[in-house]
Structures are given as structure tokens and as C-alpha cells.
Homo-oligomer: A and B are copies of this chain.
Amino acid sequence: MKTYLDCIPCFFRQALEGSRIVGATPKQQKRIVDEFARQIPRISLEASPPEIARIGYKLLRNVSANRDPYYAIKQKSNRIALRLLGRLKHKVNSSKESLLTAVELAIAGNIIDFGVKNSLNIKAELKKILAEENRVIHKRSIFHYGEFRQSLRKADNILYLADNAGEAVFDRVLIEEIKKKYPDKNLYYAVKEKPVINDALLEDAKACGIDKAARVISNGTDAPGTILALCSKEFKQVYKIADMVISKGQGNFESLSNEKRPIFFLFMVKCPVIAGETGCKIGSIVLFHNLKQNGALREKNIQMAFYGKRA
């Protein structure tokens, strides 16, 4: 996906919020905003949003002595999510459609995202998500579950692209459900190599217990998404052999939505641009197969009225 002009005010907001989280002084905050502003005229909107956001996160790293300013936040997310694990597993195990429930929960876990809204009250949000009425949300959204199930049955090598720390517990629930149904599949769980916002690292995947069900690998980058051009050779080899890719979160969707290979994007719609891009409301959970011929998204991409006015 390319970047919309509407993303630019949001980049500034993220840079500013991020600068406060890394503990920048007001003067440093101003310098970050100024430096980001200087970059804007040089930026091509042909780049995906995570490619541009990465510039902002680099500026944050320059002012912060702390190489991982979101460390405490990630630890807390892992802890909170792990406390929910029993309830999540019970929900899946007692469901008549356990795989579907696990998919829904994995997407719901995408609420754990400080890049979009740092003050998110995880506990309250998750409580809402776990409420029964949310079972119906996907009916009004894009939800290619039939294709997902079919693809899962056929695939030998499955690559699962992680998004945030904490959220990894929800991924674990889905991965364990897949393993239970299909014990012979090779499952890879790809995290970021170096810290960027609250994205999951190797240590988070382990803390969340993913390593027991999947082979945890790194994508070799510190980008808030999966920018293939920056990824390690090792990661790209797995990406190549995988006959099914499960991609979590908006960042991965934004950076991979134009890929020609089949990918299932699981994410929660968190901003008006993605709402415009997908035709789904903010807050809805999406399971989108990018190669589905009659995909609602494909049509909507053309029809987009407001956000379609790209520069």
C-alpha cells in the first residue's frame, strides 16, 4: 500500500507521542518534529506508510539513550496477555468452531498497539473484545475465512508475521490450534530483529511461549512492518518457501498489501486511511486474502472516493 497525504498529520502525531515516550525534552521534541518536517518534501508517497514512519522512529532513536524505550510497555503487554491465556484457550477449546474462534482472538489481540494510540487501555479493550457480541463483528467486515481454512489444509510451510508484544500470546493461541489440527505443518513465527515501538522481538515471542509451537525467526529489520527490501536473506528464504503467509497488524498490511504472492492479512482497522482502503469501519476485525479474485478490497481500492485522491 502506498502512503496517503492523510497519513502525514498522523506521522507527526506519532513522532510527537513517541518522542514523549522515549523521554525527549521539550526542546528535543521540537527538534524531532522539525527534522521530520524537513524530510517531508523529500518523501515519495509511493513508499508504504511503515517506510515513512521508520524515518520518524530513527529520529526518536537518535535522541534516546535508551535503545528500547518501549521495553517496559512490552513487558507489561506480555504480562497482561499471559494472564488472559487460560481464558483464551478455554474460549477456543469450548467453541464449536475452535479454529474460527482462534482466528478471531488472534485478530482481536491486535488491539495491543501503542504506535496508533499509546494510551490504549488494554484490559478494558480486551474485555470488550472477548465479549460474546463481538462474534458478529466480522460479518460486517472482510472475512475470508473459507479461503484461510482451505489454504491452511494445503500448506506445508506456514510463515506467521508477528506484530506487537503481548499480542504474541493471542498469536500463540492460534498457532497452537493450527498445530493441534495439523501437527505436521512447519510453522515459522517472524519477529523484528531490533526494537521499534512495541513490536515483538525474539524475547517477547519466547516470553509469550510461541517457541514451543513454532520456529521463531527474525525478519532482520527494525521497521514497523515488513519491508522486504530491508529484510535479511534468511527471512526472505523462509518467505519464499512458505506456501501460506499469515500477516498480523496494519503495519504488515501496509507494507505487503501490494505483494503478488498469497497472504492472509489479519488485523484490526485502527485509522481512517485503512478504513478507507479496506472499506471497513475503524475497530472492525479483518481477515483479508490479497489474491481473492472477488475481494471487496480490490473493488474498493478503485472506487475509493475521499482517500482515493492521492497525490
Listed in ascending order, the chain A residues whose CB lies under 8 Å from chain B are: 5-6, 8-10, 12-13, 16, 20, 26-27, 29-30, 33-35, 37-38, 40-41, 45, 309-311
Contact residues in B for A8 (Cβ distance below 8 Å): 12, 16, 33, 37
Point out the residue from B16, B30, B309 that lies within 8 Å of A29, measured CB to CB. B309
Point out the residue from B30, B33, B38, B310 that lies within 8 Å of A26, measured CB to CB. B310
Q: Is the CB of B311 within 8 A of A27?
A: yes
Closest chain B residue to A44, Cβ basis: B30
Closest chain B residue to A27, Cβ basis: B311
Contact residues in B for A30 (Cβ distance below 8 Å): 5, 45, 311
Q: Is the CB of B26 within 8 A of A16?
A: no
The quantity of this chain's copies bound in the complex is 2
State in angstroms the CA–CA spacing of A6 and B13 once bound together: 7
State in angstroms the CA–CA spacing of A68 and B10 once bound together: 28
State in angstroms the CA–CA spacing of A29 and B40 once bound together: 13
On whether A16 and B20 interact (CB within 8 A), knowing A27-B311, A37-B40, the answer reads no
Minimal beta-carbon separation of A245 from chain B (angstroms): 32
Minimal beta-carbon separation of A32 from chain B (angstroms): 9
20 contacts between A and B (CB under 8 A): A5-B26, A5-B30, A8-B16, A8-B33, A9-B9, A9-B12, A9-B16, A26-B309, A26-B310, A26-B311, A29-B311, A30-B45, A30-B311, A34-B41, A35-B41, A37-B37, A37-B40, A37-B41, A38-B38, A38-B40
State in angstroms the CA–CA spacing of A40 and B12 once bound together: 11
Contact residues in B for A34 (Cβ distance below 8 Å): 40-41
State in angstroms the CA–CA spacing of A26 and B2 once bound together: 14
Q: What 4 pairs between A and B have smallest CB-CB spacing? A: A30-B311, A37-B40, A34-B41, A9-B12
Contact residues in B for A27 (Cβ distance below 8 Å): 311
Contact residues in B for A5 (Cβ distance below 8 Å): 16, 26, 29-30, 33
State in angstroms the CA–CA spacing of A35 and B5 once bound together: 13
State in angstroms the CA–CA spacing of A9 and B7 once bound together: 10
State in angstroms the CA–CA spacing of A10 and B16 once bound together: 12
